[in-house]
Amino acid sequence: MAGFAAGAYRTTPGRGTSPGFRFTLYAILAVALMFMDQRRGWLAEARYFLSGAAYPLQLAVSSPTAAWRWLQSTFATRAALEAENAQLKREARDLEMRSQRYEALSRENGELRGLRDALPPVADHWMVAEVVNVELNDLRQRVLIDRGAHNGVFKHQAVMDSHGLVGQTMHVGPWSAEVILITDPEHAVPVEIERTSVRTIAVGAGPQTLALPFLPANADVKPGDLLLTSGLGGVFPQGYPVARVTEVRHDTVQPSAQIRARPLAQLDQLHEVMLVWFKADHPAAPTPASSTSVESDLPGGNPAFQPQPAPPRPQPAPVPAPGADIQATAARASAEHASVKQPAPGSPASLARSRQRSPGSSEAAVGSVGGPGSGSATGPAPAPAPATSAAREADGSSEPHASRSTAHTPETDP
Amino acid sequence: MNARQAEPRGRMIVTAFIALILSILPLPEWLAVARPAFLVLTVLYWSIAAPRAGGLALGFASGLTLDVFRGAVLGQHALALTTITYVAVREHQKIRSKPAFQQALIVLGALVVYEFILFAIDGWSGHPLTTPLRWVHAATGALVWPLATALLERSYSAR
């Protein structure tokens, strides 16, 4: 007898409807709900309000963690703050160095592509959202963020952090939104391998892992290859860093290679993320180096996100040659740049870090160089953004053009 | 005794609420996988201990709540939870008279059925999740069942 007080409750028969009847009723109701929600989408409104109702409890549950974080930041020691400050300054200097030629390069790039002017960046503006520390589903890779429809968040919006792609919004409530991470088994990102510009799909494979299941066994993939969004699929524009290949196994019996990649975004310790608004009519970002060699040989996906270069140039000798050259030198160049720019802290560790960070900063660049419209970057950007991100944003809007640049600066430099 | 004879509705709701909080509390990943379905256990307990107090309604409402919090298809958890609640309400006398170990086994079975319904609906609605880890919580739920009943029993018979 595990703890049912004997006789504490005595059934009184013959009262109310029979459980069987009520069960049938509830079951029918549940099935009807499922049908309406799944097949018809009639319950979108109801779900919207329900998630609004759930949000206070979720906030309450996450409040101890939030309080702990607040305590930590409040009682951070002077030494720690100074160290952080120094690091931020270093990063800012690094980014400014890279951004010095951004203007010229983007114009040059635009001219090369036969456009009259360089296109404005594809990212219109973005908003910082904090991750609400609450479990949505133990087995799926989902997080809740504290921005919702009231902040203009919409379904299938791209979510990033400063290192790379994070995921996209799934259910949007009034004040909160559910984000499906790129590592969720249900999520797939169309990507291209930066080195070879081979296009494929990266499927989530659990915590901090992506799989590339659709590449043939003889595909040219190496550990360390960078995966960028390919712009297909209509959610993510082209050229944003996603992951780095960590493992390539060729199994003789398998027709396809077993490839794993690790997301650049730190998905296991997400505190704050960026919701990004892209210009819907923008023909993808022209900035990334990969777009020079990739160009649109594959139509498909959302036409709005397709690169649309003016001359439909065929792709024989001239294009691949510089492209390949650029890409081959890219890694070396960025390494050199990193080492040149960071003489003071210049340890191997910091060098590696800056290299690792460069793709992330490229994405920040596209976001921050919001063109003329970047005044709006601060508009919807919420007030309670933490210090660092607020600074980042303020920076981005105050000097919209020169603010920062990108991983590909070194690539086009030589 | 007479005071308790009234259905413990308030207590049911309070304990269900606490169980809900326990099931959305952020945990480290390895622990989260083994997290027992506290809300399901609570609903099961009440449908066995107080089968006339509206366990089915509680099951349905808790299921809908879980749907909202888990971001699942609305009605998924509700259907699964109502089903096992119904069985528990029907068989409450048999289950109640069993020793703790057998009760835990029964709960294991109920949780497996519950998870299977979720699994089937996941597949139907196009969100399949085939990892075997999804069944772990049935085992841990059965393990904590004696403890959970002891706690809930205390809340029931207190005052």
Give the gap in angstroms from C-alpha B109 to the nearest C-alpha of chain A: 17
Q: Which of residues B145 and B4 earns the better pLDDT score? A: B145
User: Total structural domains in chain B?
Assistant: 1
pLDDT of residue B10: 85
Enumerate the residues of chain B whose CB falls inside 8 A of the CB of residue A19. Answer: 51, 56, 86, 89-90
Enumerate the residues of chain A whose CB falls inside 8 A of the CB of residue B150. Answer: 2-3
- Minimal Cα distance from A23: which residue of B? B86
Q: Check: CB of residue A122 under 8 Å from CB of residue A366.
A: yes
pLDDT of residue A255: 77
Show the domain range for B107.
2-157
As a whole number of angstroms, the distance between CA A149 and CA A236 comes to 20
Is A1's CB within 8 Å of B100's CB?
Answer: yes
Is B56's CB within 8 Å of A26's CB?
Answer: yes
Give the gap in angstroms from C-alpha B127 to the nearest C-alpha of chain A: 7
DSSP letter string over A112-166?
Answer: HTT-SSPPPPSEEEEEEEEEE---S-SSS-EEEES--GGGT--TT-EEE-SSSEE
- Minimal Cα distance from A31: which residue of B? B75
**Chain B touched by A134 (CB under 8 Å):** yes
DSSP letter string over chain B?
Answer: -HHHHS--HHHHHHHHHHHHHHHHS---HHHHHT---HHHHHHHHHHHH-TTS-HHHHHHHHHHHHHHHHT--TTHHHHHHHHHHHHHHHTHHHHHTS-HHHHHHHHHHHHHHHHHHHHHHHHHTT-----GGGGHHHHHHHHHHHHHHHHHHHHHH--
As a whole number of angstroms, the distance between CA A177 and CA A154 comes to 9
**Alpha helix positions (H), A369-386:** none
Backbone dihedral angles phi then psi of residue A287, each to the nearest 5 degrees: -70, -40
As a whole number of angstroms, the distance between CA B62 and CA B65 comes to 5
The sign of the dihedral angle between the CA atoms of A231, A97, A82, A352 is positive
| B residues 45-74 lying closer than 8 A (beta carbon) to A | 48-52, 56-57, 59-60, 63-65, 68-74
Give the gap in angstroms from C-alpha B143 to the nearest C-alpha of chain A: 12
Tens digits of residue pLDDT in B100-128: 889 999 999 999 999 999 999 988 888 87
List the structure tokens of B120: 């089937």
pLDDT of residue B6: 67
Taken as a whole, chain B contains a residue count of 159
Is A30's CB within 8 Å of B63's CB?
Answer: yes
Is A4's CB within 8 Å of B153's CB?
Answer: yes
Enumerate the residues of chain B whose CB falls inside 8 A of the CB of residue A171. Answer: 71
**Chain B touched by A29 (CB under 8 Å):** yes
Is B83's CB within 8 Å of A23's CB?
Answer: yes
Give the gap in angstroms from C-alpha A107 to the nearest C-alpha of chain B: 45
Is A207's CB within 8 Å of B29's CB?
Answer: yes
Distances (CA, A) of A80 to A72, A85, A391, B140: 11, 8, 18, 42
- Segment-wise mean pLDDT, segments of 10 residues, chain A, 414 residues: 47 61 89 84 81 87 85 82 91 85 76 59 78 79 88 88 88 89 89 89 88 85 88 81 89 81 87 82 44 35 44 42 41 40 39 40 36 36 38 38 37 36
CATH number of the CATH domain containing B35: 1.10.1760
pTM exceeds 0.80: no
The closest of A261, A254, A306, A314 to A280, measured between CA atoms, is: A306
Could you count the other beta carbons within 10 Å of the beta carbon of residue A5?
Answer: 14
Q: Parse chain A into domains and list their residue ranges.
A: 29-68, 76-118+316-414
Q: Which of residues A3 and B48 earns the better pLDDT score? A: B48
Which residue reads 């002077």 in tokens? A78
Enumerate the residues of chain B whose CB falls inside 8 A of the CB of residue A41. Answer: none
The closest of B45, B24, B75 to A4, measured between CA atoms, is: B45
pLDDT of residue A120: 57
**Chain B touched by A104 (CB under 8 Å):** no
Q: Check: CB of residue A122 under 8 Å from CB of residue A278.
A: yes
Could you count the other beta carbons within 10 Å of the beta carbon of residue A310?
Answer: 10
- Minimal Cα distance from B145: which residue of A? A2
Long-range contacts of A255-259 (CB under 8 A, 24+ apart): A255/A216, A255/A217, A256/A213, A256/A214, A256/A215, A256/A216, A256/A217, A257/A212, A257/A215, A257/A216, A257/A217, A257/A218, A257/A219, A257/A221, A258/A211, A259/A211, A259/A212, A259/A213, A259/A215, A259/A221
Give the gap in angstroms from C-alpha B27 to the nearest C-alpha of chain A: 7
Give the gap in angstroms from C-alpha B149 to the nearest C-alpha of chain A: 6
Enumerate the residues of chain A whose CB falls inside 8 A of the CB of residue B29. Answer: 207, 268
Q: What ipTM did this prediction achieve?
A: 0.85
Give the gap in angstroms from C-alpha A187 to the nearest C-alpha of chain B: 10
The sign of the dihedral angle between the CA atoms of A274, A277, A279, A284 is positive
Compare CB distances from B79 to A16, A31, A186 and report the shortest one's residue.
A31
Pairing between β-strand A210-211 and β-strand A258-263 as defined by DSSP bridges: antiparallel
As a whole number of angstroms, the distance between CA A315 and CA A323 comes to 11
Query: Best of A135, A176, A271 to disrupt the B interface by mutation (most B CBs within 10 Å)?
Result: A135
As a whole number of angstroms, the distance between CA A6 and CA A228 comes to 65
Residue % of chain B over a pLDDT of 90: 38
Give the gap in angstroms from C-alpha B157 to the nearest C-alpha of chain A: 8
pLDDT of residue A115: 56
Is A26's CB within 8 Å of B99's CB?
Answer: no
Is A30's CB within 8 Å of B127's CB?
Answer: no
| B residues 86-145 lying closer than 8 A (beta carbon) to A | 86, 89-90, 92-93, 96-100, 103-104, 121, 124-125, 127-129, 131, 133-134, 137, 145
pLDDT of residue A291: 35
**Chain A touched by B2 (CB under 8 Å):** no
Element (H, E) at A3: none
As a whole number of angstroms, the distance between CA B112 and CA B106 comes to 10
Angle at A29 between CA A26 and CA A35, to 5 degrees: 145
B30: pLDDT strictly greater than 50? yes
pLDDT of residue A77: 79
